[in-house]
Amino acid sequence: MLFQSLVLQNFGPYQGRHRLNLRPNTVGKVHQPIILIGGLNGGGKTTLMDALRLVLYGQRAQCSTRGNLAYADFLNQCRNRQAGDQVTRLELTLEHTLTLAPQPTELRIGRQWGSLPKNGRDTLEVYQDGQLAEDLIKGWDERIEALLPLGIANLFLFDGEQVAALADQEELPGGVVQAMRSLLGLELPERLDADLDVLVARKRKQLANVKDRQTIEAIETQIHQLTEQKGKAKQELASLTNQREWAERELHQAQEKFLAEGGKIAAEKAQLEAKRAQLEAELERHQTQLRELAAGALPLALIQPLLAAAQTQAHDEVRHRQYELAQDLLSEQNQALLEFAQESLGPQPAQQIQAFLTRRQAALARPTTGVYLNAESHHLHQLEQTLGHTLPDQQRQAKQHLKACQQRQADLEALDRYLASAATEEIYEKLSQQVKAAQARVAQVTTAYSNAEQQLNQINQALDRTKKDLQSYSQLAIDRKNTDHLIQAAAKVKQTLAEFKQKLKLHKLNHLEDRVTQHFLYLLRKPDFVHRVQIDTETFKLALYDPNGEPLPKHRLSAGEKQVLAIALLWGLANASGRQLPVAIDTPLGRLDSEHRSHLVERYFPQASHQVILLSTDTEIRAEEVERLRGAGAVSREFLLDYDPMTRSTAVRDGYFW
């Protein structure tokens, strides 16, 4: 399949008629698969994706802004506000190749409606090779299911939020699992099994008598009723699955808004105020300690050099005073020493000793700098104690308290800035109500989903019991008459079909595992981090293994690596399905770092499909990425969605941001 062009007329922000040529080019032998569409947030990228879904699937389309709206209300919501009485129209031209047709068939699908959709619906037009095809219009839902089934559409028409949500979930959503089953052809054996049941039932009727036939028909009527109930229950479950996904997305958005606008801060205001009071008390305690230190000896640190000089002077003065007090005693001692030296050593040594004592006495007789402090011994002791112990200890304490004060002050300033961003009481109440309403909606839908799932299980159990009753009764009635080869063979065929279904699933999933592993390692920045991706045959849950064969928990992946894994899964599914379908990606680069972005740009986008429609902001596919895509010859066409805030409308122009 190939999208050729898309026309939007008075749809969303697209006032008037706009046509996008989506056909890729081939220059020589180089195929250029990428159609690059740029637009700022709110410029109409998601609306364009919704247009693709809506024109293909109509009322069944899973559009981003529909939510729980009735189809007529949704169509009216999609109209451009300046359209007036003009119609809103979507038109998609595509081509596909039939199995035995030599040339591709062109289909042009159009949907249009006015300000009041007729009977709550739109008008569908389908042209085949330029001719209005009434048969296709009547059976369009069946035809589009053959071309691009709704169940797998989201695997080919997806957005970055969908990939991010898929990446964050430990288990794949039910809708994705069902799409995978459909895409891999795993539903075919189940349909064959059901068709075999129908064939056997017809044969049983032929072999039964009137009474037996009536009993069998009654049981079959019950089976038919249960089958209808099962179909309705499955539809209800599918609808509730979508509702639950929407409710969870709305809850996530409400919680994000609650955080962004200060709701969380307002909710924690009491605790934050208590923390602030604690910080202030600690700051005051440290400041009090500083004041007490300032009232003691700490200010003397400002004149520490003077105190050291005073200590030296006091030491000299105390020594001088001690000499004066001991001068008479020293004179007597010196005289006795000289007399002893004269008698024992002789005149010359005695003279030398006398000269030494004279010099020594002269040195002790006068202080070095004079006496002006009149210092006593206790003054000297006090100075030594202050400079040697008291002052250093108080300086150390002051540094500790000062550092603590600075830290508490910084914490208080940061807390004040944090509190300043808290929502007001009115805004907090509004945000809180939005979160509570979203939580209630999630709880309500989850409960309804559980009830619907339980009801479906009960119907399945009742259906199985009734089928067994039919088989048992029919077998008894038929055994009394004759044995039919077809019925006998049917049981064997069903058993063989069950074995075939299991082997087919293993074969398909093994092939898919190889594809996903190959693509994941191809896109991953750390190729030696993961060795193998395994897919569970029942739940389709992904499991990762490292090069040593050990399980690798998914939470060890970064947000970007999880997103790359989700993209690898979608890419692998597209390859394993064997379907040639276009791929359209809205906001494709999400939370990826520069290296993963580079890998996606160079390795995924040019190879994702034969036609790749990329819708991006200027911060996702930037100038450097665009130049790489252009340089590789991968880009066929470029469009820019130019939104004018004055007219509140978007125009489609040629070219990209750069």
Q: Coil, strand or helix: which one is 80?
A: coil
Digit-coded pLDDT (tens) for 316-327: 888 777 767 777
Residue 652: other Cβ atoms inside 10 A: 19
For residue 528, report the phi and psi dihedrals to the nearest 5 degrees.
Answer: -90, 5
Question: For residue 592, which amino acid is it?
Answer: L
How far is the C-alpha of 328 from the C-alpha of 332, rounded, in Å?
A: 6
Are the beta carbons of 210 and 485 closer than 8 angstroms?
no
Question: For position 350, what pLDDT does the model report?
Answer: 80
pLDDT beyond 80 at 167? no
Residue with the bigger pLDDT between 52 and 348: it is 52
Q: Report CA Rg, the chain.
A: 45
pLDDT value of position 619: 86
* CB atoms near residue 39 (< 10 Å): 26
**Which class for 480: exposed (0-12), middle (13-18), buried (19 or more C-beta within 10 A)?**
exposed
pLDDT one-digit tens code per residue, 589-609: 766 777 888 888 888 889 888
Contact 606, 33 (CB under 8 A): yes
CA distance 72 to 111: 13
Rounded Cα distance between 617 and 477, Å, is 70
**What pLDDT, on a 0 to 100 scale, did the predictor assign at position 158?**
78
Q: Evaluate if residue 8 carries a pLDDT over 90.
A: yes
Contact 17, 7 (CB under 8 A): yes
pLDDT for residue 3:
95
Longest dimension (CA), the chain: 165
- Asked if 557 and 170 touch (Cβ cutoff 8 Å), the reply is no
Q: What string of DSSP letters covers 353-388?
A: HHHHHHHHHHHHHS-SS---S---HHHHHHHHHIII
From the list 291, 258, 283, the residue with the least C-alpha distance to 413 is 283
For residue 649, pLDDT over 50 is answered with yes
424 and 219 in contact (C-beta within 8 Å)?
A: no
Tokens of 585: 């990606």
pLDDT tens digits, 9-66:
999 999 999 999 999 998 888 899 999 999 998 889 989 999 999 999 998 888 888 8
Local confidence band at 653 (pLDDT 50, 70, 90 cut-offs): very high
Q: What is the pLDDT of residue 483?
A: 46
Instruction: Decide if 322 contacts 371 (C-beta within 8 A).
Output: no
Q: Which strands sit side by side in the sheet containing 14-21, from one edge to the other? A: 14-21, 2-11, 88-96, 105-113, 123-128, 131-132
Bridge-based pairing of strands 14-21 and 2-11 is: antiparallel
Distances (CA, A) of 159 to 64, 156, 220, 650: 10, 10, 45, 20
In this model, does residue 365 exceed pLDDT 70?
no
Q: How far apart are the two ends of the chain, measured CA to CA in Å?
A: 30
Share of the chain above pLDDT 90, in %: 26
**What mean pLDDT comes out for the span 158-175?**
68
Condensed to tens digits (0 to 9), the pLDDT of residues 438-461 reads: 899 889 988 998 998 899 999 989
Could you read off the pLDDT of 118-158 as tens digits, one per residue?
666 899 999 999 999 999 999 998 888 878 888 777 778 87
- Which run of H or of E encompasses 240? helix 210-260
Q: For residue 613, what pLDDT is reported?
A: 94
Element (H, E) at 469: helix 425-479
Q: What is the mean pLDDT of residues 350-369?
A: 73
